[in-house]
Amino acid sequence: MTAFSSELQSTLKEALNALYHHPDPEVQRQAERWLQDFQRSIDAWQVSDSLLHDASSDLESLIFCSQTLKTKVQRDFEELPSEAFRPLRDSLCSLLKKLHNGPTKVRTHISVAVASLAVQVSSEDWGGGGILNWLRDEIDSHPEYIPSFLDLLSVLPQEACSYKTAARPERRRQFQKELLSSMETALNLLTYCLRSNELQEQVLDAFSSWLRLGYGVAASTLASHPLVFATLSSLNSEQLSDAAVNATCDLIHYTVSESSGGINAQMPLIQVLVPLVMGLRERFRASLKDLDQDEEEVKSMARLFADMGDSYVDLIATGSDESMMIVNVLLEVASHPDYDITSMTFNFWRSLQDNLTRKESYLSFGTEAAVEAEKNRRLSIFRTPYEMLVSLVSFRVQYPKEYQEMSREDQKDFKQTRYAVADIIMDAASVLGGETTLKILFVKFFEAVGSKGNNESWDWRVAEGALYCIRAISEYVPDYEVDIMPQVMAILPKLPHQPQLLQTACLTIGAYSKWIDATPVALSFLPSIIDILTGGMSTSEESASAAAVAFRNVCAACRDKLCGSLDGLFQIYHRAVSGEGGYKLSTEDSLHLVEALSMVITELPPDHAKKAVEALCLPAVTPLQQLIGQAMDSSQQITARQFTVHIDRLSNIFRYVSHPEAVADAFQRLWPIFKAIFDNRAWDMRTMESLCKASKYAVRTSGRFMGVTIGAMLEAVQDKYQQHHQSCFLYLSSEVIKIFGSDPTCATYLGSLIKALFGHTTHLLRSIKDFTARPDIADDCYLLASRCMRYCPHIIVLSPAFPPLVDCSMIGITVQHREACMSILTFLSDVFDLTNSTAGEQYRSTIDSVVIPRGASLTRILIASLTGALPTSRLEEVTYVLVSLTRTYGAKVLEWAKEAVSFIPSNAITEVESSRFLNALSQAAKGAVLSELLEPLEELSEICRRNRTVQDIVQGALKPLELNFAAVS
């Protein structure tokens, strides 16, 4: 050992000691940084290996060095010269043997390192037909080291599918095939190891791992395999139960995996598994009576039953006698008092419902009559189980008596339980029909309400729970239902104003608003319903919020019936926004009331609608006028919130009053106020966003009725954007482009608008740092540009702003901000899609003159984005742009791509790998569909991102941020 290595070892030990034991947090942080730098260094190989072989190394050193060596093999194996492989393999295998009785964590790290090494080198290099044959020989020669060899055998399949190992994709696929072809050898080794009772748990864990790898052994062979017998017989073993359950679940999943040939091919194994798993039913039943039984054991059995149901749902859905036995045991699981156990079945009930109601499940039955007959037969069979399910789970939505004392986290968990149970009841309603499910739930509700009487100990929670479930199935209850819902609606006004109960009553009214509208006696219900909702607005913040949503829903559904009651509705609205009515509505909740009245006003004749809109705007207009007056006084400090509260109400009016002329008239009258806010608050982002949103909805609703006001608004937008750079001015312009872009009479002022907006933006965004600092402007700029490409290409393509806009997009493609990046990529794909379309033929020469001179740089930037400059989450979008470019410019793109790829050194990608990528682009040029190109194009990304070193090499070669655009005019 060199003096340097010895010194580094000492420093490493000191750093570990400081990290784990020094009292000063700053010293700990310094130690952690040093250790991280050490792990990335080339010296980490030798130092870690030496300390692992050193008998005097303490546990902390062993854990750190084994973890370091594992990571180095996974990520940085290419750092080593080719001749280092064998010494490294021999050293790791020596450690594996040495640590066969050592710390489990250290042994696992070394096992993963060996497995990762096997992934990255060919079986020929490993010697003797690959690692499985080598492992078999080692077990034969050194049975005393079997615990370590079992660890390795367990992690091999995991590493084969892990992307932590920086293997090239082709080598990873090859290794997976090698393991699958050697699966019988692996299972034979595990069978050999079964002879030792002490190793059985390890054997079962390793068996699970190989089953998860995929299909490699015939079902008939596996059905009679000793490992399967050992797994199933161990289900009754207290010591081996966990490992046996895991392996049995993996056996179940194995029988339905895509690679296994499907259920029919796996029937021999299924016929072995199902009876033995069902044999646990009596033990599970006993747990329902003996609640002191081991909780983990009960959960394990429930998990087995649930996994069996999930996996064999297609078989179960046929309704055979055998399948109904599984359904019945899953009902027993659903009846368990422990919600965590009950909920294990929820996925099964959802999948079964989907199978029973989905048309595709019955395609094999041919004619529509046969399909309908089979569907009715199955639904009839499963009616009783789903009725039982509703009864078994509906009580779980009831509020616990100690709810108010629960922590916020526990309250949140309880609400998640309610949502999950409501989903299951909706699934049941899909099978049973809304009316049948409603009858079951109404019985519970009626009994709970009926028990109230004069009983002072009446528990509102039972009634609330049943009502919550009734609300959940609203979409399944037909509008013509006349037996139950009238009774529910008659009971609601009689319920006490307990906050949670009232909240659910309000939500139920909102959920059944369409039923209320459809029922012949709606007019008799509406006054009492409105009274309940106003009561809800006055009781608590939660009930007020629910009442506001329900008020909106009722007004939306019954708008024609409420036109005659507009004065009363206005009274509720004024009380809510003035704060004088005792309502507990938040500002956001009051917007629901604005929306509600807007939809009722929509039903009025045009003349009446204009007056109603004016009245609806008034409570927002007056305070805005006062605020503008105060704003003139520089001594007054006015917050954005003071403005946005009122502007947002106007925004909802413009959005939901579907009277274009009435809204246009209101906007025109309000424009002086809006203009004053533009003039005085253009520096204030929140106020401008609110104002632009209101203007956007006015434009969207009014359309061409906006008249001259639109010009004045755009003039203000253009002027204020150049002064204050608020991105919301850009998205407001996007809405204008959508409405007016194709109108030839608007071409002149729209051309002037986009020239000014884009011209100013491209001067703001001159470097990637500018994009990173102003992602909102980049996002909205390129959203506007895309709108222009779609609605007025004749303006944008011919505009002098178009070439700088393309240049600017090339600078910003690699911005890490997701929305800004996606908007830039969408703009580019819109440009290429237009060029490649029939409609874009007239613009082809102009676009060509902009794109072709920039094509080589753009292609190189896109390839850099694909290979590491952008996160993998954006691969699909980058790939689409690259394919669109290739389809448009064909051979030119192939030349550009070939040149770009040639910059990447051969130690990063091989000639074969680059050829596969270029061939995919060639196929794209010939018109191949995108789905056929994704794998080879994304494979280049995987190759170039396989570790940090390679990614840095690739990005250093392509230099996406350093390409020179100055030559492009």
Q: Is the residue at 787 inside a domain?
A: yes
CA of 195: how far to CAs of 87, 199, 201, in Å? Answer: 33, 8, 12
- Averaged pLDDT for residues 864-872: 96
Q: Which of 680, 580, 703 is nearest to 630 (CA)?
A: 680
- Averaged pLDDT for residues 72-90: 92
Q: What is the pLDDT of residues 62-79, one digit of tens each?
A: 999 999 999 999 999 988
Q: Is the residue at 958 inside a domain?
A: yes
Q: What's the mean per-residue pLDDT of the chain?
A: 92
3-state secondary structure (DSSP) of residue 189: helix
467 near 485, Cβ under 8 Å? no
What is d(CA 427, CA 425) in angstroms, rounded to the nearest whole number? 5
- Averaged pLDDT for residues 488-496: 93
- Averaged pLDDT for residues 478-493: 94
pLDDT confidence bin for 341, thresholds 50/70/90: very high
What is d(CA 373, CA 381) in angstroms, rounded to the nearest whole number? 12
Q: What is the pLDDT of residues 796-823, one digit of tens each?
A: 999 999 999 999 999 999 999 999 999 9
The reported pLDDT for the residue numbered 197 is 86
The reported pLDDT for the residue numbered 968 is 37
Enclosing domain of residue 928: 853-968
- Averaged pLDDT for residues 837-856: 94
Q: Which of 749, 728, 626 is nearest to 682 (CA)?
A: 728
Q: What is the pLDDT of residues 429-476, one digit of tens each?
A: 999 999 999 999 999 999 998 876 655 567 899 999 999 999 999 999
* Same-domain check for residues 309 and 227: yes
The reported pLDDT for the residue numbered 366 is 85
Q: Into how many domains does the chain fold?
A: 4
Q: What is the pLDDT of residues 600-619, one digit of tens each?
A: 999 999 999 999 999 999 99
* Same-domain check for residues 203 and 268: no
pLDDT confidence bin for 369, thresholds 50/70/90: very high
What is d(CA 214, CA 113) in angstroms, rounded to the nearest whole number? 22
Q: What is the pLDDT of residues 116-148, one digit of tens each?
A: 999 999 888 887 678 999 999 989 999 999 999
The amino acid at residue 475 is E
The reported pLDDT for the residue numbered 630 is 84
* Same-domain check for residues 764 and 807: yes
What is d(CA 225, CA 216) in angstroms, rounded to the nearest whole number? 13
Lowest mean pLDDT among 313-327, 764-778, 930-944: 930-944
Q: Which of 863, 928, 860, 916 is nearest to 890 (CA)?
A: 928
pLDDT confidence bin for 274, thresholds 50/70/90: very high
Q: Is the residue at 529 inside a domain?
A: no
* Same-domain check for residues 224 and 131: no
What is d(CA 363, CA 872) in angstroms, rounded to the nearest whole number? 39
* Same-domain check for residues 207 and 286: no
Q: Is the pLDDT of residue 286 over 80?
A: yes
What is d(CA 603, CA 658) in angstroms, rounded to the nearest whole number? 9
* Same-domain check for residues 817 and 859: no
Q: What is the pLDDT of residues 887-933, one digit of tens each?
A: 999 999 999 999 999 999 998 999 999 999 999 999 999 988 888 88
The reported pLDDT for the residue numbered 598 is 97
What is d(CA 776, CA 816) in angstroms, rounded to the nearest whole number? 12
Q: How many CB atoms lie within 10 A of CB 831?
A: 29
For the chain, what percent of residues have pLDDT higher than 90? 79
Q: Is the pLDDT of residue 963 over 80?
A: no
* Same-domain check for residues 833 and 875: no
The reported pLDDT for the residue numbered 967 is 38
The reported pLDDT for the residue numbered 155 is 95
- Averaged pLDDT for residues 751-767: 94
- Report which listed range, 94-103, 284-293, 758-767, is most confident: 758-767
* Same-domain check for residues 884 and 953: yes
* Same-domain check for residues 206 and 98: yes
Lowest mean pLDDT among 637-646, 825-834, 931-940: 931-940
3-state SS string for 797-823 = CCCCCHHHHHHHHHHHCCCCCHHHHHH
Cα radius of gyration rounded to whole Å, the chain: 35
* Same-domain check for residues 237 and 350: yes
The continuous run of DSSP H or E covering 476 comes out as none
Tokens of 614: 């004016």
363 near 350, Cβ under 8 Å? no
Q: What is the pLDDT of residues 661-695, one digit of tens each?
A: 999 999 999 999 999 999 999 999 999 999 999 99
The length of the chain is 969
Q: Is the residue at 380 inside a domain?
A: no
680 near 631, Cβ under 8 Å? yes
- Averaged pLDDT for residues 865-873: 95
Q: What is the pLDDT of residues 690-702, one digit of tens each?
A: 999 999 999 999 9
The reported pLDDT for the residue numbered 969 is 34
* Same-domain check for residues 829 and 897: no
- Single residue among 311, 326, 354 that ends a domain in this structure: 354
Query: What are the φ and ψ backbone dihedral angles of 806, each rounded to 5 degrees?
Result: -65, -45
The reported pLDDT for the residue numbered 5 is 73
601 near 658, Cβ under 8 Å? no
Q: Is the residue at 275 inside a domain?
A: yes
Helices (H), 335-367: 339-342, 346-357
Q: Is the residue at 369 inside a domain?
A: no
pLDDT confidence bin for 196, thresholds 50/70/90: confident
Q: Is the residue at 869 inside a domain?
A: yes
Lowest mean pLDDT among 168-182, 254-268, 459-473, 824-838: 254-268
pLDDT confidence bin for 214, thresholds 50/70/90: confident
* Same-domain check for residues 89 and 209: yes
- Averaged pLDDT for residues 492-515: 95
Q: Is the pLDDT of residue 651 over 90?
A: yes
Q: Is the residue at 39 inside a domain?
A: no
